[in-house]
Amino acid sequence: MPAIRLLPLTPDTIPAEKAGCRFGDKGTHTCRTMMLNELTQAMDATSADAKRTDYAAAIIEENCLSKSTASMRRLSNQRLGELYGLDPSIPIFRVMRGLWEKDEKARPLLALLCALARDPLLASTADAVMQLAPGAEFLREPMRAGIRSAVRERLNDSTLDKVVRNAASSWTQSGHLEGRSLKIRRRVNPSPACAAFALYLAFLVGFRGADLFSSGWIAVLDCSPTMGQHLALEAKRLGLLDIRMGGDIVEINFSRLEQLA
């Protein structure tokens, strides 16, 4: 399988950063996983139109995550904010929250996609997971090498190993891996909502036309380009986006997606 690409050869990072994507060699996975359970609890404790201050109040003041100390509540609020934004003024979080309300089963993959867009360390681990065939054993060294390539010498070996553990846990939370000490690759089953969000993120970073469907954002859903197109057409039927495909022409309008929240 060719290496998956979450960025095109000439990425357009400025609009992507304005929409909430993050780039570089730093990320939350030095100390946390993608925190799916905590994210779910924070979402359950707030309304769909909640502001950043509402999430902070739910986490810190109301202790919706059931943390034992105030410092742990504040830190969890910070880390969730790093991973997801928790702010409707951030477009990629606003879109994710809208889809979160529409498709409960899609939530682990929606969270993964958002975390990939906002944590470069997690993004650097994607190829190591996606190169595994279903049923294959997860090996730490390819993931470690991917992270090292992204951060060079910035992280020491101990921190690098911690990122591997945290990232492997995140890919387990998303459904791509299964097991505890011995992890096995499993295929995920994406919905049209997942495909719509993946295409949105691919578009933000600069993929266009048919390349949207061969991007790493579709690949991490265990989708071929053809399956991605099928899910995109289903997303259109559900009113999530507008798409026109004919020959080599692919045009997608995401205004419906951006107006969900």
Q: What is the pLDDT of residue 261?
A: 64
Structure tokens at 14: 């400025």
Phi-psi region of 133 (alpha: psi -120 to 50; beta: other; left: phi over 0): beta
Note whether residue 42 is domain-resident. Answer: no
Residue located via tokens 């998956």? 4
Q: What is the pLDDT of residue 81?
A: 98
In which domain, by residue range, is 167 found?
120-185
Cα–Cα distance, 176 to 205 (Å, whole number) = 23
Q: Give the model confidence (pLDDT) of 76-127 as tens digits.
A: 999 999 999 999 999 999 999 999 999 999 999 999 999 999 999 999 999 9
In single-letter form, the type of residue at position 44 comes to: D
Structure tokens at 155: 């992280």
Q: What is the pLDDT of residue 246?
A: 83
Note whether residue 153 is domain-resident. Answer: yes
Helix (H, G, I), strand (E, B) or coil at 242: strand
Note whether residue 243 is domain-resident. Answer: no
Note whether residue 144 is domain-resident. Answer: yes
> How many domains, in total, are found in the chain?
1
Angle value at C-alpha 47, between 97 and 73, nearest 5 degrees: 90
Note whether residue 3 is domain-resident. Answer: no
Low-confidence ranges of the chain (pLDDT < 50): none
